[in-house]
Amino acid sequence: MIMYKKKFISGIVLFVVSLSLFADEGMWMLHLLKQQKYPEMKALGLKLQDYDIYNPNGSSLKDAVVQFGNGCTGEVVSSQGLVLTNHHCGYGSIQNHSTLEHNYLEDGFWALTPAQELPNPGLTVTFIDKIDDVTDYVKSCLKRDAAKDSLGVFYLSPSYLNAIAREKAGEAFLKENYGTVVEIKPFYDGNQYFMFTKKVYADVRLVGAPPSSIGKFGADTDNWMWPRHTGDFSVFRIYADKNGNPAPYSPENIPLKPKRWLSISTKGVQQNDFAMIMGFPGTTNQYFTSWEVLEKRNIDNDVRIHMREIRQKVMLEEMLKDPAVKIQYSAKYAGSTNSYKSAIGANWAIDKRDFALTKQQQQDRLLAWAKKNGTKEYAQALNDIEMIVEQRSDLRFRDRMLYEGISRGVEFASIPTRNADLLASALQKNDQQEFEKLSTELLNDFYRFANKDYNPMVDKKVSSALISEYMRLIPREKQPEAFDEIYTRFDGDAARYVDYLFETSIFGSGQNMKKFLEGNRIPEAILNDPMIRFAESVKAEAASLKQQLAVFDRPFDKARQKYVQGILAMDGALAHFPDANLTLRLTYGKVKGYRPRDAVNYDPQTTVDGIMEKEDSTNWEFVVPEKLKELYRKKDFGRYAMPDGRMPVAFTATTHTTGGNSGSPVMNAKGELIGINFDRNWEGVGGDIQYLPDYQRSIIVDIRYVLFVIDKFAGAKNLIREMELR
């Protein structure tokens, strides 16, 4: 699978490229801005002092930025704990509150009084109180605990690092400060460590969301694309106890009075205006080697693209046939297509700018520097990485195929089987009391699996298609054991096999489950249940592949740590930003369009004119609400229109973002909110590996459109009055 190999030969002159960063490149640590990027930001137009952005001893902009849930960002925009984030970040909460009678996905939702705001169990927002460099502390702990670290993995272990974080903070401190969490994370692949002191609020209520015809306008067709006309926002509120501290949901809780909230600019943006984003980017791979770039393209991305395309085609067909299925599968479909398009864009960028060559040049530069300085360890690290990537290629392909094609794509592959196994054991022992207890648990397992968002007909059709393709691409001897039955009993016909599973398995339907629990309850009914056997076989194969791949993890991580150590030693510790890892970062740049290909130029601003141009009442992705059309006809845009009278919708900036930056505040040179980040352009997705200055663009919903929808479209003037508009 690995199609590129470079041999390092001493004595030849290596081609050297500069690794100086583009001004707009990077996801920078806030507490290091003054030493790293603040002068450049000032030169680009920033009007703030560094301590206005991050101040460990007082209020600053970072105190208005929250991690929303576990994978998005939000911003506080009022003195009453009002939070803006993306519609797609709040989508799960909106969906959970939606029914056919009250379809908030289709119709939108607006709480005009606090009593109408809806709680969301499990949803949290997290503030970062402070960031501390604890590199020396971690190294001393690693040295102290070396005898316990027989595998040599503590330096990257979240459980170990968080344990010593609690040790450093003190259990008494954490006990006295409910909702406070401390976390140590490794940076630069374990060459540096920072500790984050966080405050987590668990009472977060839905306040407002536009209908999906605004919040998801363009849906999958426009996802990752520019020009964009999506009002991708939703509104939540943080609640706390009477003292302003985190507390579980209670009707007695009150809106949080935050330390800081963002003021909002209604003046709009112009080409080349300064823009900066703060948020929690998830994962980047800036320190990939050339071999990893090709592994990503040829295995990870290619498999994801191919298998998700099959799944999505079937899902969409069923969603368009039935509105109920559309509600059930809208979030699943959106989640699938999001990463699918991202993989396509990443592969385009890898080829367009030859990332493998770019990374090879970086490797060669390090080797030349190391040779000049008499250091051999970095060459060995690169040799180890090359060898490991090649050795694990077949296992990695099988693992990706199993995950994308079966574990993730086949819903019944994830049925819970533990209680079923225990129940079979109780039957074998004739333990009636245990059987009755486990029967209840088994029934609960079934309804947790076959919940309101599950449709067996859709699962059948998707599974038949995915299993067939998996069987075509993976040799029979390397497939899960349960697949033998498809060949021996069904002549390799996956569709017939899937029908058989649903007809005979106790998990195939509620009727089957009821028949088993009320009928002839023999252990063989579970032990030989074909769907249970399938699920357990898939899980066993996934575990086996994980175990085989894990053999490579420790030597790979050590080699990567050494390689990155070499880059930092060569260029200086402050020259590079660490890969994203869901920690608070800042990126900055300019409002700017781009030219994706010859003779095509994209402006940085879109307007409601474009919504009307895209309108298609026969296509669910481009339906325009009548109220929005009425406001457009009357040009009733209020104070939110542009100077030329048009209504803005979205804009682009050269800021360096990735997944996790969804919902991030976009601020102007004064630190005022001008937009909410919600996507990247398709051509810039490869920026996770290497920044693309000519193509890299963050896609941002203009705050004026957000305010217009809240005010004029929804009539939620109570929310407008709550915000600080300038």
User: How would residue 523 be classed by pLDDT, with cut points 50, 70 and 90?
Assistant: confident
User: How would residue 658 be classed by pLDDT, with cut points 50, 70 and 90?
Assistant: very high
Terminal-to-terminal C-alpha distance of the chain: 56
Q: What is residue 97's predicted lDDT score, i.e. its pLDDT?
A: 94
Q: What is residue 16's predicted lDDT score, i.e. its pLDDT?
A: 35
8-state DSSP, 374: T
Q: What is the largest CA-CA distance in the chain?
A: 81
| Spatial CB neighbours of 698, under 8 Å, sequence gap ≥ 6 | 277, 652, 653, 654, 655, 656, 657, 661, 666, 677, 679, 680
Q: What is residue 325's predicted lDDT score, i.e. its pLDDT?
A: 92
| Model pLDDT for residues 132-148, shown as the tens digit of each residue | 999 999 999 999 999 99
| Spatial CB neighbours of 227, under 8 Å, sequence gap ≥ 6 | 602, 603, 606, 610, 650
Residue 143: how many other CB atoms lie within 10 Å? 8
**pLDDT of 6 above 60:** no
| Model pLDDT for residues 545-582, shown as the tens digit of each residue | 999 999 999 999 999 999 999 999 999 989 999 999 99
- The CA angle 223-224-230, to the nearest 5 degrees, is 50
**pLDDT of 379 above 50:** yes
- The CA angle 35-40-45, to the nearest 5 degrees, is 130
Nearest to 366 by CA among 562, 567, 578, 573: 567
Instruction: Please tell me whether residue 326 adopts helix, strand or coil conformation.
Output: helix
Distance, C-alpha 481 to centroid of its chain: 33
The span from the CA of 390 to the CA of 600, in Å, is 40
Instruction: Please tell me whether residue 360 adopts helix, strand or coil conformation.
Output: helix
Spell 5-31 as b/e; 16+ CB within 10 A means b.
eeeeeeeeebeeeeeebebbbbbbbbb
Distance, C-alpha 511 to centroid of its chain: 37
User: How would residue 423 be classed by pLDDT, with cut points 50, 70 and 90?
Assistant: confident
Nearest to 62 by CA among 27, 24, 29: 29
Q: How far is CA 466 from CA 303, 313, 314, 445, 678, in A?
A: 12, 11, 10, 25, 31
Q: What is residue 23's predicted lDDT score, i.e. its pLDDT?
A: 66
8-state DSSP, 143: H
The span from the CA of 84 to the CA of 333, in Å, is 24
- Cite the DSSP H helix spans in 519-654: 523-527, 530-571, 608-614, 626-634
Bin 681: left if φ > 0, else alpha if -120 < ψ < 50, else beta. beta
User: How would residue 254 be classed by pLDDT, with cut points 50, 70 and 90?
Assistant: very high
| Spatial CB neighbours of 96, under 8 Å, sequence gap ≥ 6 | 120
CA-based Rg of the chain, rounded to a whole angstrom? 27
Q: What percent of the chain has pLDDT over 70?
A: 97
Instruction: Please tell me whether residue 725 adopts helix, strand or coil conformation.
Output: strand
What's the full length of the chain, in residues? 726
The span from the CA of 194 to the CA of 183, in Å, is 8
| Model pLDDT for residues 179-197, shown as the tens digit of each residue | 999 999 999 999 999 999 9
The span from the CA of 378 to the CA of 110, in Å, is 58
**pLDDT of 2 above 60:** no
How does the average pLDDT of the chain come out, rounded?
A: 93
Domains of the chain (ranges; CATH) run: 21-124+202-284+577-726 (2.40.10.120), 290-548 (no CATH)
Residue 420: how many other CB atoms lie within 10 Å? 25
| Model pLDDT for residues 576-623, shown as the tens digit of each residue | 999 999 999 999 999 999 999 899 999 999 999 999 999 999 888 899
**pLDDT of 373 above 60:** yes
Report the predicted TM-score, pTM, of the whole model to 2 decimal places: 0.86
Q: Do 398 and 545 contact (CB within 8 A), yes or no? A: yes
| Model pLDDT for residues 453-484, shown as the tens digit of each residue | 999 999 999 999 999 999 999 999 999 999 99
Q: Do 486 and 349 contact (CB within 8 A), yes or no? A: no
Q: What is residue 430's predicted lDDT score, i.e. its pLDDT?
A: 84
Q: What is residue 21's predicted lDDT score, i.e. its pLDDT?
A: 55
State both tokens at 425.
């054991």
**pLDDT of 310 above 90:** yes
**pLDDT of 338 above 70:** yes
Q: Do 180 and 683 contact (CB within 8 A), yes or no? A: no
The span from the CA of 114 to the CA of 718, in Å, is 10
Q: What is residue 606's predicted lDDT score, i.e. its pLDDT?
A: 98
| Active-site residue list | 88, 232, 662
- The long-range contacts involving 319-326, CB below 8 angstroms and separated by at least 24 positions, are 320/620, 323/100, 324/100, 325/455, 325/458, 326/620
Q: How far is CA 160 from CA 126, 185, 363, 583, in A?
A: 22, 10, 32, 18
Q: What is residue 14's predicted lDDT score, i.e. its pLDDT?
A: 34
| Model pLDDT for residues 700-720, shown as the tens digit of each residue | 999 999 999 999 999 999 999
Q: Do 312 and 337 contact (CB within 8 A), yes or no? A: yes
Q: Do 289 and 386 contact (CB within 8 A), yes or no? A: yes
User: How would residue 22 be classed by pLDDT, with cut points 50, 70 and 90?
Assistant: low
Ordered DSSP codes for 31-67: GGHHHHTHHHHHHHT--S-HHHH--TTS--GGGGEEE
Q: Do 705 and 647 contact (CB within 8 A), yes or no? A: yes
Q: Which residue has the tokens 């001897």?
A: 477
The mean pLDDT value for 385-406 works out to 98
**pLDDT of 410 above 90:** yes
